[in-house]
Amino acid sequence: MNKFNQFLMDHGTKAILILLVLTYFKSCGISSDLEKVKKDYREMKAEVDTLTSTIDEQTVNKEEMIELIKETPAWKTLRIEEISDKERISINALEEKED
């Protein structure tokens, strides 16, 4: 304990100054990190606003959606595959029936 007290008497002020300098530098780094986060937040908010306005312009009503689903070939193919899996009939046979 005596050695520790002697060390603090000789080098205590130096140790305190070093800790204060390190604390100061640490606090400076937080500010720059906060600015980066704010910048990322602004970019994300702008992107979300852009996507929201795009979605509002491209809204499809119920009738248009039903028409799109009925006319889309991929939907028909999916329906044929679903029926063939359900009833264990080959896809080619179902396609011939529909044509």
Q: Which two tokens stand for residue 7?
A: 């060390």
Please tell me whether residues 53 and 67 are part of one structural domain: no
Domain match, 49 and 3 both: yes
Domain that holds residue 97: 61-99
Name residues whose C-beta falls within 8 Å of residue 25's C-beta, 6 or more positions apart in sequence.
Answer: none
Of 43, 59, 75, the one marking the end of a domain is 59
Please check whether residues 47 and 81 belong to one and the same domain: no
Q: Enter the pTM of the model.
A: 0.33
pLDDT in tens for each of the 99 residues of the chain? 788 888 888 888 898 999 999 888 877 766 677 788 899 999 999 888 887 776 666 666 778 777 877 777 665 666 666 666 666 666 566 566 665
Structural domain total, the chain: 2
